[in-house]
Structure 1
Amino acid sequence: MYHTYGLAMRWYLSGHAPWSNGYEALLLVSWASLLAGFSFSKYSRITLAATTFLAFLTLMTASHSSYDPQLTNLQPVLKSYWLIIHVATLTISYGFLVLGLVLGLFNMVIYILKTNHNYKRLSLITRELTYINEMTITIGLLLATVGTFLGGVWANESWGRYWGWDAKETWALVITVVYTIIIHLRLAPKIKGEFIFNVASIIGFGSVLMTFIGVNYYFTKGLHSYGSGDTPVFPIYLWFVLSFIIALIIIAGINKRRIDKFQYQVEES
């Protein structure tokens, strides 16, 4: 409620929807991730904990990054009611998709903690979180798809064409394709399963980061360049974060395979 009040006050004071720049977009992503978490909190308290942690990280990033929290006037190209509809739909989809990332990471940790003694109990938790993860990603994919189509309508009004393979447009489409594949992994016999799905939900979020950050700072030559900023140096600590996530997935996979093999031998005997 307090977060919603803050967004409403920014809207009232600035006179336009409060998601017109990077700082405000992070505020909306944080709000959307809380919305996603509270939507499924009835079914899982772990999800509520995950979304609270996620909102904290998002707000901390907004506060300690180079994003300017100053209230500013809208750029001419953004003075449209489509800012409220198109940008909000896409940005809120990021909140649902990033919750899928966090739930996937939570499951990786649980896979590592599994032993022969707690296998059944923790398997129920991973199955529960995987179901919620799938529902979260499905909603995020729906919003991202609708937002991409709405962006085409706005592009036609602004630039006279629905699609032009601009970097931002292309990567918005990439998000839709990537998460469509993730949602349909359960139909592929050899790669279906909750572990593969959770790994895919982690890796797939890279497409969102590329759209939200990479295009704005590294692919700035395009019709969406009004949203770009000074190109920053890729932070060194992110390499450690990526290495940690890869190591987490590998260790979780090894432990899961070991436990599953032991359980299979027990059932056979």
Structure 2
Amino acid sequence: MDLTALQHQLDNLSFLVLFLTMLVYWVGTAFRNLSFLQPLGTAGFALGNFCITGLLIARWIEGGYFPISNLYESLFFLAWGVTAVHLVVEFSSGNRLLGVFTAPLAMGITAFAALSLPPEMQSSEPLVPALKSNWLMMHVSVMMLSYATLMVGSLLAIAFLIVTQGKSVSLQGSSYGSGNERLKSIRNNNSFASTPISVSSSDGQTAVLEQPQTITEEKLSPQRLNFAQTLDNLSYRVIGLGFPLLTVGIIAGAVWANEAWGSYWSWDPKETWALITWLVFAAYLHARITKGWQGKRPAIIASAGLIVVWICYLGVNLLGQGLHSYGWFF
């Protein structure tokens, strides 16, 4: 069997499946009478994950090492993680609208890997000496899984901001956040204005009194509010899963760095941005757990986290500098 040809067939097939899956989710959501298409979207995610799994296994057999050593392999491993996290979240929540937001992410990653990278970057090559270590699977795979999980969680936070854009939101009845925070949210939904009232006295003089008048902002419909609360809750839980993975991945990387370079931390650009990523999501979880934040404010932090994750994963390597630059662009 020609494993190289099989890999190219599977990478193109995974892109095609995820592209069709994205269209199925979008059409099924746009047209209510076509909601029966949404189960097909779930099947598309499962099929896409199966294709990527087959690709990674074929790559593993051909190269003789865990396929996560260059950009092509890591992109497909990232896409595998995104589709796997989506399936877990969808089955646990029972909400099939999530694919509207996660399908474009998975499709875009596979499209970049299968259609944009040059053939020489897609071919399997022997590992460079620095990567010939058992820590390759431990460190890189956990980091990539944390990236995939944090990306999905951040994307759900962005979806929350889109759904609630320009609307008043009061999230109540959730299993997290403090009562004071919900009270603040309710108070912030109302603005107070003063309307002058003229009152005549017995001596013919007129007094002007100020009467407070409550102006209520436009609120979300109950159905849309329920979906927004689901997005907020799932985003929090998914990020809560990705953060420990990121922590373990950074620790494993530090141990590997000490074995390879004699130092646990060297402030390499990749290490620095991994620390920045950790701090951003630590701030998010601190705001949710300790401060009781929920809704738009933590969603903004998580949205910024998505940008930071992409810089850490891909942006740093565009510079072609540092100890982590091999096997990527240069």
Q: TM-score range by the shorter chain?
A: 0.7 to 0.9
Specify the alignment match of 1:27 in structure 2: 76
Provide Cα deviations, 1:31-71, integer angstroms capped at 9, x if missing partner.
11111111111212123443333211211121233352111
Q: CA deviation at 1:8?
A: 0.8
Task: Structure 2 unaligned segments of length 5 or more: list them.
Answer: 1-49, 169-217
Please report the RMSD computed on the Cα atoms of aligned residues, expressed in angstroms: 2.1
Q: Distance in 2 between matches of 1:228 and 1:62?
A: 12
Question: Who wins on radius of gyration, i.e. which is larger?
Answer: 2
SS in 2 for 1:46: coil
- Is 1:26–1:59's contact at 8 Å kept on the other side of the alignment? yes
Identity %: 32
Specify the alignment match of 1:102 in structure 2: 155
Q: Which has the higher strand share?
A: 2
Q: Distance in 2 between matches of 1:221 and 1:30?
A: 25
Further displaced range: 30-39 or 64-73? 64-73
Is structure 2 residue 112 aligned with structure 1 residue 61?
yes
Specify the alignment match of 1:184 in structure 2: 286
Aligned pair count reads 228
Q: Distance in 2 between matches of 1:101 and 1:187?
A: 17
Q: Distance in 1 between matches of 2:310 and 2:105?
A: 15
Q: Distance in 1 between matches of 2:166 and 2:227?
A: 12
The one of 96, 101, 125 equivalent to 1:50 is 101
The one of 221, 224, 227 equivalent to 2:324 is 224
SS in 1 for 2:97: helix
- Is 1:89–1:147's contact at 8 Å kept on the other side of the alignment? yes
Specify the alignment match of 2:127 in structure 1: 74
- Which letter does structure 1 place at the counterpart of 2:152? L
SS in 2 for 1:58: helix
Specify the alignment match of 1:243 in structure 2: none
- Is 1:37–1:50's contact at 8 Å kept on the other side of the alignment? no
Q: Distance in 2 between matches of 1:187 and 1:85?
A: 29
CA spacing shift, 1:118–1:160, aligned 2, 3 Å: closer
- Which letter does structure 1 place at the counterpart of 2:144? T
Specify the alignment match of 1:171 in structure 2: 273
CA spacing shift, 1:53–1:214, aligned 2, 3 Å: closer
Q: CA deviation at 1:163?
A: 1.2
Q: CA deviation at 1:2?
A: 2.4
Provide Cα deviations, 1:57-113, integer angstroms capped at 9, x if missing partner.
211121233352111111111011111110000011111111123212322221138
Specify the alignment match of 2:302 in structure 1: 201
Task: Structure 1 unaligned segments of length 5 or more: list them.
Answer: 231-269
The one of 213, 225, 228 equivalent to 2:314 is 213
- Is 2:232–2:294's contact at 8 Å kept on the other side of the alignment? no
Q: Distance in 1 between matches of 2:225 and 2:329?
A: 45
